[in-house]
Structures are given as structure tokens and as C-alpha cells.
């Protein structure tokens, strides 16, 4: 069966996120008030052929560790 | 109060996603079997100061329309 697995890869909370800061200043230039912080990461949707949801998640976790997330700068969450 | 709003910005389903295709071939080079499709978008977390959750979502939607998502190539979802 084919399972859809979503992986969220975000910059570590301890690190600055320059892309997020740029977007924040862009939003305030556009006159949008109230946004106090912006962090930008990746959202990766995998279609995985596996015999169970558990195995699909296992494949997604391996993919995240081996290729999708850089543990020096990012953490990932699998939904 | 400060609300955390997550916005997912993904390439439109009708469009090719070259970054996703590159990751898919990377995964198969690494020997990971079972991944049939990969799509890569952005995940944006906003901290919004607003008087209600509804207003925070309204601000997030305006931000998405004005700056975060390009409607020609992307769609967004707010969580």
C-alpha cells in the first residue's frame, strides 16, 4: 500500500534563521502588524510503498536522517 | 496573547517539483527503497501577537497571500 508521510524540517531553535528574519522585515514593510517571529523550514511529503504504516514511517525516518535533515542545523518531525 | 501559526506552502499538484525529483533520485542512490514520490515545500512558523486566535489566523492568511506563497506555483495551508 502507498502511505503519505509528511516530514517537517526546521532550523534548530538555538540558531538564528536569517531567511525568517528577512521575511519578518518584509511583512512589516508591507504593513502587516503583530508578527513577532518567523522561522522557515522545509515541508517534505513522501509517497512510500510499504506493507504497513510503521514500515513507511521507518523509511521516512531513515530518509530524514540520511538525506533530508542536517542535524548540525536542523531537526525533523514526522507526521 | 501570542499565537503560533504554522503555514505549509507546497508546489501546486499540477506542476513538476524538480527539487523533489532530485531528492527522490538521491534516496534511491542511498539504497532507500519504497519512496515513490517526493514533493518539497516550505514550512513557516509565525509567532503572532493578536487578541484572538481568529485574528492571528487572519494575519497569517494575509501574510501568506501577500508574501509567503506565490499563487502561480504554490498553494498554502494554515494550521
Tens of pLDDT along B21-42?
999 999 999 999 999 999 999 9
**Tens digits of residue pLDDT in A48-68:** 999 999 999 999 999 999 999
Q: Using the beta-carbon criterion (under 8 Å), do B38 and A44 form an inter-chain contact?
A: yes
Q: What is the pTM of this model?
A: 0.92
CATH number of A2-78: 3.30.1280.10
Residues of B with Cβ-Cβ distance to A36 under 8 angstroms? 2, 47-49
Chain-centroid distance, C-alpha B35: 20
How confident is the model at residue A30, as a pLDDT? Answer: 95
ipTM of this complex prediction, to 2 decimal places: 0.90
Residues of A with Cβ-Cβ distance to B56 under 8 angstroms? 34
CB-based burial, B22-37: b 16+ in 10 Å, e otherwise = ebbebbeeeebebbee
Q: Which residue has the cell 513538476?
A: B16
For residue A29, pLDDT over 90 is answered with: yes
- Which ranges of A1-79 does DSSP label H, i.e. alpha helix? 18-29, 53-63
Identify the band that residue A79 occupies on the pLDDT scale cut at 50, 70 and 90. Answer: confident
How confident is the model at residue B2, as a pLDDT? Answer: 96
How confident is the model at residue B67, as a pLDDT? Answer: 96
Residues of B with Cβ-Cβ distance to A50 under 8 angstroms? 34
Cα–Cα dist A41/A44, whole Å: 10
Residues in chain B where the model's pLDDT stays below 70: none
How confident is the model at residue B79, as a pLDDT? Answer: 87
Best of B43, B58, B62 to substitute, by most chain A Cβ atoms within 10 angstroms, is: B43
- Among chain B residues, the shortest Cα distance to A68 is held by B23
How confident is the model at residue B74, as a pLDDT? Answer: 97
Neighbours of B61 (CB within 10 A): 15
Domain assignments of chain A as residue spans, ordered by start: 2-78
Closest CB to A41 among B39, B43, B56: B43
Beta bridge partners of A2: A49
- Nearest-CA distance A65 → chain B (Å): 11
Cα–Cα dist B36/A49, whole Å: 7
How confident is the model at residue A68, as a pLDDT? Answer: 97
- Among chain A residues, the shortest Cα distance to B13 is held by A45
Amino acid at each position: 500500500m502507498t502511505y503519505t508521510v509528511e516530514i517537517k524540517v526546521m532550523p534548530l531553535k538555538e540558531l538564528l534563521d536569517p531567511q525568517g528574519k528577512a521575511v519578518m522585515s518584509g511583512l512589516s514593510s508591507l504593513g502587516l502588524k503583530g508578527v513577532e517571529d518567523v522561522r522557515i523550514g522545509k515541508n517534505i511529503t513522501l509517497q512510500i510503498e510499504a506493507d504497513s504504516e510503521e514500515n513507511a514511517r521507518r523509511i521516512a525516518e531513515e530518509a530524514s536522517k540520511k538525506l533530508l535533515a542536517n542535524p548540525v542545523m536542523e531537526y525533523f518531525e514526522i507526521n
